[in-house]
Amino acid sequence: MTPEHLPTEQYEAQLAEKVVRLQSMMAPFSDLVPEVFRSPVSHYRMRAEFRIWHDGDDLYHIIFDQQTKSRIRVDSFPAASELINQLMTAMIAGVRNNPVLRHKLFQIDYLTTLSNQAVVSLLYHKKLDDEWRQEAEALRDALRAQNLNVHLIGRATKTKIELDQDYIDERLPVAGKEMIYRQVENSFTQPNAAMNIQMLEWALDVTKGSKGDLLELYCGNGNFSLALARNFDRVLATEIAKPSVAAAQYNIAANHIDNVQIIRMAAEEFTQAMNGVREFNRLQGIDLKSYQCETILSTHRAAVWTVKPRKWCRRIRVFCTSPVTRKRYARIWKH
């Protein structure tokens, strides 16, 4: 397999092997049969980042082989969204012969949505000035003339230049309801939008009939909290990254949700506040003791162990992207 060749014909066999491997790993802890949700076999990644290699007059995307560390040229990337592939070609064409945009450019990051919006970040080892802005604006306008709905950002040491904005708004159909999610450049978002929809719908299904309130640790832009709000009396969610908190607050308003509260604090701080060990000014107006958090949700591998919620939480739901992490959780909970 190479970045430009995705063995889509092997998908079903690879998926079947993964299911068998997961069942084998979990056999000591559970005899449940896994539910299997299939991803699109190509164009599923909504974000990607590439180093930029300068080769004489040429310029192109590269990645590094994880084992040999050798450079691999990437002109197309079928794992990424079709929009990213279009932008990869257009960006190289727009930058290659432009000395201002090309000089000291070492990386390009792409973030896209199913609604065909994009943020592209250009990273430099140089100071960015007004001349760079003018050339970047010309490139942006040229890209938009090609019907590419794109926003450009320039980054350098202690510098960030937004030509328009540093976010895009995703719209996901989740269990019959359209969810709006603001996604901010350089912040975490679920990379596979199609699988994200399936994860959210699965989470909604398994939390039907839930009682009490939901606590989510490290909620990001509110991906799970907002979708699951309809299944709980209230949702209390924590996050530490300011851009993600701001995005989550926007998403609450955009989705007209009135039972979700986002607080900016780490899991350790939340534990101190919940146990009455320490008071925080940022919690003024929030009565933690009024929450009946009978369900806790975390996609962060360390959060649950930091909070140690068994004293005040009846159900713990941890979403694991790694079978190894899932096995670790199962082993600890068994004991």
Is the domain of 235 the same as that of 159? no
pLDDT category at 257 given cuts 50, 70, 90 is very high
Compute the distance between CA of residue 238 and CA of residue 218 in angstroms, rounded to an integer: 5
Is 22 or 56 the better-scoring residue by pLDDT?
56
Neighbours of 262 (CB within 10 A): 23
Is the domain of 159 the same as that of 263? no
Compute the distance between CA of residue 108 and CA of residue 51 in angstroms, rounded to an integer: 6
Q: Is 185 annotated as contributing to ligand binding?
A: no
Tell me what pLDDT residue 26 has: 81
Compute the distance between CA of residue 211 and CA of residue 231 in angstroms, rounded to an integer: 8
Is the domain of 143 the same as that of 233? no
Tell me what pLDDT residue 308 has: 56
pLDDT category at 297 given cuts 50, 70, 90 is confident
- Burial bucket for residue 17 (CB in 10 Å: 0-12, 13-18, 19+): exposed
Of 1, 94, 99, the closest CA to residue 86 belongs to 94
Asked, for residue 245, whether it belongs to a domain, the answer is yes
Percent of the chain as helix, strand, coil, to the nearest 5: 35, 25, 35
N- to C-terminal Cα distance for the chain?
41
Is the domain of 53 the same as that of 139? yes
Task: Show which of 110, 137, 165 is a domain's final residue.
Answer: 165
Asked, for residue 12, whether it belongs to a domain, the answer is no
For the chain, the domain total comes to 2
Of 284, 233, 280, the closest CA to residue 259 belongs to 233
Compute the distance between CA of residue 203 and CA of residue 135 in angstroms, rounded to an integer: 46
Asked, for residue 93, whether it belongs to a domain, the answer is yes
Task: Show which of 137, 165, 193 is a domain's final residue.
Answer: 165
Asked, for residue 35, whether it belongs to a domain, the answer is no
3-state secondary structure of 10: helix
Name every residue whose Cβ is closer than 8 Å to that of residue 280 and which is 6 or more positions away in sequence: 265, 269, 273
Tell me what pLDDT residue 17 has: 94
Percent of the chain scored above 70 by pLDDT? 89
Indicate which CATH number applies to the domain containing 68.
2.40.50.1070
Task: Show which of 135, 165, 195 is a domain's final residue.
Answer: 165
Of 40, 15, 11, the closest CA to residue 193 belongs to 40
Indicate which CATH number applies to the domain containing 212.
3.40.50.150
Mean pLDDT across the chain: 90
Compute the distance between CA of residue 216 and CA of residue 200 in angstroms, rounded to an integer: 14
What's the whole-number mean pLDDT along residues 284-290?
Answer: 87
Q: What are the strands, taking DSSP E only, across the chain?
A: 47-55, 58-64, 71-74, 105-112, 118-124, 150-156, 159-162, 167-174, 177-184, 213-217, 235-239, 260-264, 293-298, 315-318
Is the domain of 326 the same as that of 275? yes
Residue 181 near residue 172 (C-beta atoms within 8 A): yes
Give kind and range of the element (H or E) at residue 204.
helix 193-206
Q: Is 218 annotated as contributing to ligand binding?
A: yes
CA distances from 20 to 12, 188, 320, 322 (A): 12, 30, 17, 15
Is the domain of 132 the same as that of 233? no
Name every residue whose Cβ is closer than 8 Å to that of residue 226 and which is 6 or more positions away in sequence: 179, 181, 235, 248, 251, 252, 255, 257, 260
Asked, for residue 42, whether it belongs to a domain, the answer is no
Asked, for residue 294, whether it belongs to a domain, the answer is yes
Asked, for residue 34, whether it belongs to a domain, the answer is no
Asked if pLDDT for residue 294 goes beyond 90, the answer is no
Residue 189 near residue 222 (C-beta atoms within 8 A): no
Asked, for residue 226, whether it belongs to a domain, the answer is yes
pLDDT tens string 163-194: 999 999 999 999 999 999 999 999 999 999 99
Is the domain of 263 the same as that of 319? yes
Is the domain of 217 the same as that of 273? yes
Quote the DSSP letter at residue 83. H
Q: Is 31 annotated as contributing to ligand binding?
A: no
Is the domain of 256 the same as that of 320? yes
Full-model pTM: 0.91
Helix 11-26 vs helix 323-334: crossing angle, to nearest 10 = 20
User: Which residues constitute the domain of residue 68?
Assistant: 47-165
Q: Is 23 annotated as contributing to ligand binding?
A: no
Is the domain of 61 the same as that of 158? yes
